Structure formats: structure tokens, C-alpha cells
């Protein structure tokens, strides 16, 4: 298995632009998680899905953030409009059971 796949790996954009991050979970995993990691705040859970249904989005910072999971093999995290404080590494993870498998992350820089 290729593991959790994320794209792009790096994204540099200007403030105000829309950013879309993509994730393909491991086949057969029924939970999918989006995390954000910064030096100051560590690894924060933004939202997670079970069988493509959003379960808890209480970690989503504000209305500028949205996430979708149209099918079992694909999810997106969108930021519109982006701001410099959104600069971070965004991880997607999936699991079946208790162990979470993380993707390589997307390093987002908003100028």
C-alpha cells in the first residue's frame, strides 16, 4: 500500500488566495483526519470524518476553512481566503482501529 497520499507537498501563495489541499487515505480505512502543525501550537486536530461523514469540526479555526470527503478515497481541505497566520504544515491521517497513519504533509506558506 502506498500509504496516505497528500498533494501538493509544498504550497506558496499570497494572502487572499484560495488554497486547496488534497488527501487520499489508505484503502479500507474508515476514519480520516486533518491536522495542522505549527511550532507554537503543535499538532492540532481540525476535523475528522467517519465513512465520509464529518464527525467533529470543532477544531476548524473559522469559516475560511472547509473540508469535504466526497468519497472513501478522497478528501479536500480548502482555505478561502488564505492569511499569513495559516502558514503551517497540514497533515492528513487515516485509521482503522487505533493506529493513525499520517501522510507526508503539505507545507503551506502564505505571504
Partner 1 sequence: GQNIDQPTEMTATEGAIVQINCTYQTSGFNGLFWYQQHAGEAPTFLSYNVLDGLEEKGRFSSFLSRSKGYSYLLLKELQMKDSASYLCAVREWGGYQKVTFGTGTKLQVIP
Residues that bind partner 1 (CB under 8 A): 31, 33, 35, 41-45, 48, 50, 55-56, 91, 95, 98-105
Q: How far is the CB of 27 from partner 1 (least distance, A)?
A: 18
C-beta of 70 vs 98, nearer to partner 1: 98
C-beta of 45 vs 81, nearer to partner 1: 45
Q: How far is the CB of 80 from partner 1 (least distance, A)?
A: 25
Decide: helix, strand or coil at residue 104: coil
Location of C-alpha cell 499538532: 43
Q: How far is the CB of 36 from partner 1 (least distance, A)?
A: 11
C-beta of 81 vs 89, nearer to partner 1: 89
| Pairing label, strands 106-110, 10-13 | parallel
Amino acid at each position: 500500500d502506498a500509504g496516505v497520499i497528500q498533494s501538493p507537498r509544498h504550497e506558496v501563495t499570497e494572502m487572499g488566495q484560495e488554497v486547496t489541499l488534497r488527501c487520499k487515505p489508505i484503502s479500507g480505512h474508515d476514519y480520516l483526519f486533518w491536522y495542522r502543525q505549527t511550532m507554537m501550537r503543535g499538532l492540532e486536530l481540525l476535523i475528522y470524518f467517519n465513512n465520509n461523514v464529518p464527525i467533529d469540526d470543532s477544531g476548524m479555526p473559522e469559516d475560511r476553512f472547509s473540508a469535504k470527503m466526497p468519497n472513501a478515497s478522497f478528501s479536500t481541505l480548502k482555505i478561502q481566503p488564505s492569511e499569513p497566520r495559516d502558514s503551517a504544515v497540514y497533515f492528513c491521517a487515516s485509521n482503522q482501529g487505533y493506529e493513525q497513519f499520517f501522510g507526508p504533509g503539505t507545507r503551506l506558506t502564505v505571504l
